[in-house]
Amino acid sequence: MNSNLFSPLQLRGLTQSNRIVIGPMSQYSAVNGSATDWHMQHIGHLSLSGAGLFMIEATSVAPEGRVSHGCLGLYSNENEAALKRVVEFCRGFSSMPFGIQLAHSGRKGSGHAPWEGRGTLQADESPWQVVGPSQIPLTKDWAVPVELDREGMERIKRTFVDAALRSDRIGIELVELHAAHGYLLHQFLSPLSNVRTDGYGGSLERRMRFPLEVVEAVRAAWPADKPLGVRISATDWVDGGFSPEEAVVFSAELKQIGCDYICVSTGGLDPMARIPVEPGYQLSFASQIKREVDIPTRAAGLVISAAQAEEIVASGTSDAVVLARAFLDNPRWVWHAAEALGVTLAYPKQYERAHTSKWPGARLIRGN
């Protein structure tokens, strides 16, 4: 059968073979921001999955932009060399293109990895000073951020540009800027975390100003034939927070300055937000932005089945789907989705013996 999910997607000079994106998944396994052998195996085995694009995890543009000591970074020559080693290794046996999500944690930084409890680093754990648009901590137990002045904002803008240039030298095909999940750019957008009284706070126009400056600077430095996207949280799920209507306005501004797609997520700014998590719970926001802004979108949030993913693309709800933990659970999700949708997908030659056409066990395992 013809499948919309397995049709190609063109963004500038990048052609994805299908509409399935492996989302950025923080591994908290870097050393001083540098990728390790864990990244080699993690990215390596998923680069054989058959997805149309692999997004490298949220990658900090500065040491103080990390969430934890284990977060990946791209702010030093050592970071660049370590990540290039991983990408070149994967390119030896996979043609899957790579994107990278560049991020700054802002007030959400200087914390523990999830398996360490996620709390803020204590005095004996080498914490660092967090920054933000205003002096509002993530929680009452978190460090109070230093309010960024104009010099600090310019410095951070340069770190985003520098990280994008490093990404290009590595050979990465796509950059996505993280303006979601309570990270620094999202903190500027939300009136819950941005109470500034200067030109960067107050009205939506002013709250958007710094994130738009960052995107514009990166677009100018990033090669013209390579796509640039932005991930946003379309709602904070909190009264008085960043809203879907504001997300539409922000997305329209991003389109105007050369952004090629919007990856639509939600939440992450307020740990106490009540989010109605269920399959496809963020789809309406992606659909609204695609329809009202006329820009390609990626849909994320409990996209779990092949039929669901096919319907998202076929209906025009979104141009691509992003799966993350689904790939941790099942690294062969794409293969099985192709089977379910009647699509013939090439396997690596070393794994062809497991194809459903050559191994009866495949049908038995999946109850066919």
Please list the active-site residues: 183
**CA-to-CA distance for 72 and 234, rounded, in angstroms?**
25
Listed residue (218, 232, 236) closest to 261, CA to CA = 232
Residue 332: closest CA among 348, 309, 318, 315? 348
- The H or E element containing residue 153 is helix 150-170
Helix crossing, 204-221 with 150-170: angle to 10°? Answer: 40
Burial 78-100 (b: 16+ CB within 10 A, else e): ebbebbbbbbebbeeebebbbbb
Which amino acid type is present at position 160? F
Give, as one character, the DSSP assignment of residue 192. T
Structure tokens at 5: 């999910």
Burial of 338: CB neighbours in 10 Å, binned 0-12, 13-18, 19+:
buried
CA–CA separation, 203 and 12 (whole Å): 33
Contacts of 346 by beta carbon, 8 Å cutoff, 6+ apart:
none
Tell me 236's DSSP state.
Answer: -
Residues 93 and 72: their CA atoms lie apart, in Å, by 23
CA dist list (Å): 226 to 8, 24, 172, 267: 16, 18, 9, 28
